[in-house]
């Protein structure tokens, strides 16, 4: 297995793209700052700009009986908080011929569906009064990891997007690709690729971002979420098979896994 861990500043480099074919299984990052709903902290949060015939959204609305809260925004810490319990490990059929996705827990309640804010445990992403996913689950062990499995999709995905709430440097998103490469990212790397701030700010559009991840040279088998401190909050997942961003477009993206940063280790 090839393992690639990135814990520093994202690399933005056009020169490396020319030889990109030599680096199968890289991840590039694009996206937008959290200016959803005109900056009003009430609504459904930010969504992928690529939704359409080849990109499908999956959110947590209605799962485990969850509902949005009204009125919004909330009045302060703990406002409108409800924990609807762990995300199911059953397959979710996306409909429209997209196939299915599933989740797996490293331990009980590695990820809970919640809404609102619970002080010291979870904070709703900016401008999102709908249910979202928090990792680890409420009051659960920080070592718990939640994995999203994409191999059930009809067309294997080279794109994954998510609304990332209050990004922190101790949040982690690890990609396992179809060529067995693992690309491990933390909140600082993701934020720096978008000129955002991994400060954990719940009310700042600079630390609530919609992130687009593109895989070059391989498709995405699974994504594992975990956090060294509380917590990692996400919503409005998007998956699909899209054309690779052009070289000029990638000038504005954080290109990860190239040159001297890449270390391949094959399992014995």
User: How confident is the model over 212-230, as pLDDT tens digits?
Assistant: 999 988 999 999 999 999 9
Residue 157 contacts residue 57 (beta carbons within 8 Å) = no
Q: Give the tens place of pLDDT for each residue, 154-211.
A: 999 999 999 999 999 999 999 999 999 999 999 999 999 988 999 998 888 889 999 9
Which two structure tokens, joined as six digits, stand for 37? 């709903």
Query: What average pLDDT does the chain have?
Result: 81
* CA 258 – CA 149 distance, rounded (Å): 25
Which residues, 6 or more positions from 256, have their beta carbon under 8 angstroms from its beta carbon?
A: 6, 10, 11, 26, 27, 28, 29, 183, 185, 189, 193
The pTM for the full model equals: 0.84
Within 13 A of 257's CA, how many CA atoms are on the CB side? 29
**Which pLDDT score, from 0 to 100, does residue 257 have?**
43
Check whether 113 has a pLDDT greater than 70.
Answer: yes
């Amino acid at each position: 297995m090839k393992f690639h861990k990135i814990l520093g500043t994202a690399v933005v480099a056009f020169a490396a793209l020319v030889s990109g074919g030599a680096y199968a299984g890289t991840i590039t990052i694009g996206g937008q700052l959290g200016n959803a709903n005109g900056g009003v902290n009430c609504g459904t949060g930010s969504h992928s700009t690529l939704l359409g015939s080849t990109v499908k959204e999956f959110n947590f609305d209605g799962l485990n009986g969850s509902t949005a809260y009204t009125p919004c925004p909330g009045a302060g810490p703990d406002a409108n908080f409800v924990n609807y319990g762990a995300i199911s490990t059953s397959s979710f059929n996306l409909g429209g011929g997209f196939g299915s996705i599933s989740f797996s827990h490293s331990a009980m309640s590695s990820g809970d569906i919640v809404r609102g804010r619970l002080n010291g445990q979870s904070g709703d992403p900016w401008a999102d009064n709908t249910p979202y996913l928090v990792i680890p689950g409420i009051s659960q062990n920080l070592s718990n990891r939640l994995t999203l499995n994409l191999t059930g999709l009809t067309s294997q995905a080279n794109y994954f997007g998510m609304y990332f709430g209050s990004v922190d440097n101790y949040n982690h998103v690890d990609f396992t690709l179809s060529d067995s490469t693992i690309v491990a990212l933390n909140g600082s790397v993701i934020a720096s690729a978008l000129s955002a701030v991994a400060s954990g700010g719940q009310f700042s559009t600079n630390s609530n971002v919609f992130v687009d991840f593109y895989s070059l040279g391989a498709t995405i088998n699974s994504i594992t979420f975990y956090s060294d401190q509380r917590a990692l909050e996400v919503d409005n997942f998007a998956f699909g098979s899209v054309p690779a961003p052009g070289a000029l477009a990638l000038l504005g993206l954080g290109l990860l896994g190239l040159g001297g940063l890449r270390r391949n280790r094959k399992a014995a």
